[in-house]
Amino acid sequence: MASPLQELIDRGPVVFDGAMGTLLYSRGIFINRNFDELNLSRPDLVEKAHADYLKAGAMILTANTFGANEVKLSRHGLEGRANDINRTGVELARSVAGSKALVAGSIGPTGIIPDVFDLGQMENLRSVFSAQARALLEAGPDLLLLETFRHPVEMQAALSAVRPLADCPVVATMVFDEECRTADGLAPDRVAALLAEWGADVVGANCGEGPSRVHDCAPLMLNTGLPVLAQPNAGHPRRVEGRVIYLTTPEYLGEYAKRFIRAGVKLVGGCCGTTPDHIRQIAAEARMVGGGRVTIPETALSTDSPSTEVLEPVELTERSNLGRELVGGFVVSVEVDPPSGADPTSAIEGAMKLAEAGVRFVNIADGPRATARMAPLSLAQLLVQKTDVEPIIHVTCRDRNLLGIQADLMGAHALGLRNLLVITGDPSKLGDYPMATTVYDLDSVGLLRLVSSLNCGLEPSGRRMKGATAFVKGSGVEPGSEELEREIDRLHRKVEAGAEFVMTQPVYDREVMGRFLDGIRDLDVPVMMGILPLASHRNAEFLHHEVPGMTIPAPIRERMKTAGSGPAAREEGILIAREVLAAFVDRVQGCYIMPPFDRFETALAVLEGIDLPTGS
């Protein structure tokens, strides 16, 4: 039978908690105190730390027992209380975790530099680790975590002592220096092989110099096939006004969490200096990259049960004008951002101008860049009432849980809105309200499956609906992704989940777009190329350096620099956009223009002089 840890790993990325010692220090416990003894003298502080990590999204809470071995406790005259400290540490974590999280019993190094030729010392180390493991196991943790070992020899002693005692999984993580080496010079791949040979069920890297360094090391440990854990520090500590401060932000650590998961690392958490805020960001990224909290089964549409009769979806050409245009036509859509306030006048007037110029479709973003704006569903209904454009509503997974998303979809369909662009959505931390909860019950693949299910008259639970929806479903893609192979693989999954068209991120580099189109030749899905006219050289530099997935070649940026600023720069931006669109107009099935700063005349100017295919 699989362990609870393995079941958690099988469901997707696993989020460990963060630091305990530095968190307690930041909350007023002096550095000369023994932090493990707080299990007995200040259990309220330890429980509060666990509770904060659980609330932040940690799936595994680590008992406050890292230094609770006889060697370290003896420095404080506490060796006689080792058993109580270890048992209580697990019990405190369990009292908070309940059924919501697993509990890890933590075992750290002794601080003794091991000498493999000193047989007496090695036997003593094994005895110390064995005693701590027995005390922890009496309290029933779900796993044991041997963490922050710098010397492989000491880790070997620990695993040889702990492995025979533990029926639960044993996780072993090592510290690597700035050259990705242990204290005795071993590389991560070799360390992983040794840890596996010595009996570890999960291997990994923790502590060290921060997220970047651990990212250099942890993926190299995938060679054994065992799950890998990455727990970086919050950067390198600095001393500020007498206090030790870690300067890595939650957002920065969250970005690396995403990279860890995409590289194949199964478990991610934090080490020294990390806080519940860091873990909250890691959890949000894990949900976004890992498929969300809720899984919409791929088999939801294949049941033969009469109680869940599947209806044939309405033909694409019969669902909306967009559906008809996607079959053999060339679609032009322009983005109309919802207002940041309650007055939609500007957006409505912009859509009217576009309609008068012959634009038939507009995209309405859903809280772009995690900013607070009018709901796209509301603006879409206003545009239908007051203009001749047909909206394509962006639907993100960021803000609403499964029930809320499904309710909004039902409401949109009842209002006659049929076109959806399904995207995962930027995390709340990036926007106006970084304290807002980021939900991610689903990712874009899961949401596409949900909409496909509704189109067949089924709820995600498999229950038959009264009637069925008739949505046209699209999704996004990044041609400029640094991991293009993975991006194309994910696009395949989106198409399998029901995507009937895709819209790309803005494209400026012809080589990038050509490589992307070559890579998806086997996919029968219409592509609408994203076009974002540059407004200035500063705008070009920002997009190139700060926005993931955006690549603006140096010659393009130099053209914008030469153009100067103001109208001349905007004209150059329009010309560049027109050139890249003209280069691919025969290889794509549409374009999606994002006018900067709501300058809708810019979007129309891009189309001037372009010989669009018939049907646009």
For residue 309, give every residue at least 6 positions away whose Cβ sits within 8 Å of its Cβ, in sequence order, or none.
457, 464
Confidence at 434, pLDDT banded by 50, 70, 90: low
Domain check: are 286 and 299 in the same one? no
Mean pLDDT of 307-316: 79
Confidence at 303, pLDDT banded by 50, 70, 90: very low
Domain boundary among 265, 290, 315: 290
Is 111 domain-assigned?
yes
pLDDT at 548: 64
Q: Is 528 helix (H, G, I), strand (E, B) or coil?
A: strand
pLDDT at 282: 92
Cα distance from N-terminal residue to C-terminal residue, the chain: 58
**DSSP assignment of 307-366, as one string?**
GGPPPPPPPHHHH-HHHHHHTTS-EEEEE-PPPSSS--HHHHHHHHHHHHTT--EEEE-S
316 dihedral zone (left: phi>0; alpha: psi -120 to 50; beta) = alpha
Is 581 domain-assigned?
yes
Is 549 domain-assigned?
yes
Confidence at 292, pLDDT banded by 50, 70, 90: low
Give the dihedral sign, CA 309/314/316/322.
Answer: negative
Q: Does residue 607 carry a pLDDT above 50?
A: yes
- Tracing tokens 């690396």 back to the chain, one arrives at 256
Domain check: are 354 and 211 in the same one? no
Domain check: are 453 and 513 in the same one? no
Domain check: are 444 and 545 in the same one? no
- Tracing tokens 């620990």 back to the chain, one arrives at 158
Q: Which H or E run contains 207?
A: strand 202-207
Is 484 domain-assigned?
no
Mean pLDDT of 551-569: 93
**DSSP assignment of 249-291, as one string?**
-HHHHHHHHHHHHHHT--EE---TT--HHHHHHHHHHHHHHHT
Domain check: are 199 and 285 in the same one? yes
Domain check: are 218 and 125 in the same one? yes
Q: Is 26 exposed, middle or buried (0-12, 13-18, 19+ CB in 10 A)?
A: middle
Please give the distance of CA 58 from its chain centroid, rounded to a whole number: 14
Dihedrals phi, psi of 534, to nearest 5 degrees: -75, 145
pLDDT at 611: 84
Question: Hey, what's the torsion of the CAs at 278, 279, 280, 283, to 10 degrees?
Answer: 130
Out of 41-50, 409-418, 457-466, 510-519, which region has the weakest mean confidence (pLDDT)?
457-466
Q: Is 220 helix (H, G, I), strand (E, B) or coil?
A: helix
Distance CA 521, CA 133 (A): 56
Domain check: are 364 and 405 in the same one? yes
Domain check: are 561 and 419 in the same one? no
Cβ contacts of 462-467, under 8 Å, gap ≥ 24? 462/300, 462/303, 462/305, 462/308, 463/307, 463/308, 464/307, 464/308, 464/309
pLDDT at 22: 86
Q: Is this prediction's pTM over 0.75? A: no
pLDDT at 398: 85
CATH number of the structural domain spanning residue 394: 3.20.20.220
Q: What is the pLDDT of residues 155-198, one digit of tens each?
A: 999 999 999 999 999 999 999 998 999 999 999 999 999 999 99
- Give percent above pLDDT 90 in the chain: 70
Looking at the DSSP bridge assignments, the partners of residue 519 are none
Indicate the number of domains in the chain. 3
Please give the distance of CA 522 from its chain centroid, rounded to a whole number: 28
Better-predicted residue by pLDDT, 543 or 126:
126
Domain check: are 222 and 297 in the same one? no
Is 555 domain-assigned?
yes
Distance CA 421, CA 394 (A): 5
Q: What is the pLDDT of residues 345-358, one digit of tens each?
A: 999 999 999 999 99
For residue 65, give every residue at least 6 positions away whose Cβ sits within 8 Å of its Cβ, in sequence order, or none.
36, 39, 85, 86, 89, 90, 105, 106, 107, 132, 136
pLDDT at 304: 46
Distance CA 561, CA 565 (A): 8
For residue 22, give every residue at least 6 positions away whose Cβ sits within 8 Å of its Cβ, in sequence order, or none.
244, 246, 272, 273, 274
Extract the tokens encoding 393. 């509503």
For residue 43, give every residue at least 6 positions away whose Cβ sits within 8 Å of its Cβ, in sequence order, or none.
88, 92
pLDDT at 298: 64
Q: Are 166 and 5 in contact (CB under 8 A)?
A: no
Domain check: are 544 and 452 in the same one? no
Among 237, 270, 227, which Cα is nearest to 53's?
A: 270
pLDDT at 441: 84
Extract the tokens encoding 198. 């010595």
Mean pLDDT of 583-590: 95
Confidence at 237, pLDDT banded by 50, 70, 90: low
Domain check: are 46 and 78 in the same one? yes
pLDDT at 343: 95
Extract the tokens encoding 167. 């029926």
Is 485 domain-assigned?
no
Among 91, 33, 28, 32, which Cα is nearest to 63's?
A: 91
Domain check: are 76 and 157 in the same one? yes
Looking at the DSSP bridge assignments, the partners of residue 416 are none
Q: Does residue 474 carry a pLDDT above 60?
A: yes
**How do 243-245 and 501-506 pair as beta strands?**
unpaired
Is 454 domain-assigned?
yes
Among 260, 272, 295, which Cα is nearest to 14's?
A: 260
Distances (CA, A) of 471 to 50, 418, 421, 422, 538: 44, 5, 10, 11, 39
Distances (CA, A) of 572 to 99, 262, 419: 59, 37, 33
Mean pLDDT of 574-590: 95
Domain boundary among 452, 473, 494: 473
Out of 401-415, 432-446, 566-580, which region has the weakest mean confidence (pLDDT)?
432-446
pLDDT at 409: 96
Residue type, 563: A
For residue 597, give every residue at least 6 positions away whose Cβ sits within 8 Å of its Cβ, in sequence order, or none.
535
CB atoms within 10 A of CB 262: 15
Looking at the DSSP bridge assignments, the partners of residue 504 are 477
Q: Is 549 exposed, middle or buried (0-12, 13-18, 19+ CB in 10 A)?
A: middle
Among 370, 397, 367, 396, which Cα is nearest to 379's?
A: 367
Q: Are 574 and 594 in contact (CB under 8 A)?
A: no
Q: What is the pLDDT of residues 80-89, one digit of tens each?
A: 999 999 999 9
Provide the residue range defining the domain that includes 403.
293-307+331-473
Domain boundary among 473, 492, 523: 473
Is 58 domain-assigned?
yes
Q: Are 477 and 419 in contact (CB under 8 A)?
A: no
Better-predicted residue by pLDDT, 77 or 482:
77
Residue type, 400: R
Report, in angstroms and rounded to the nearest whole number, the Rg of the chain calculated over CA atoms. 28
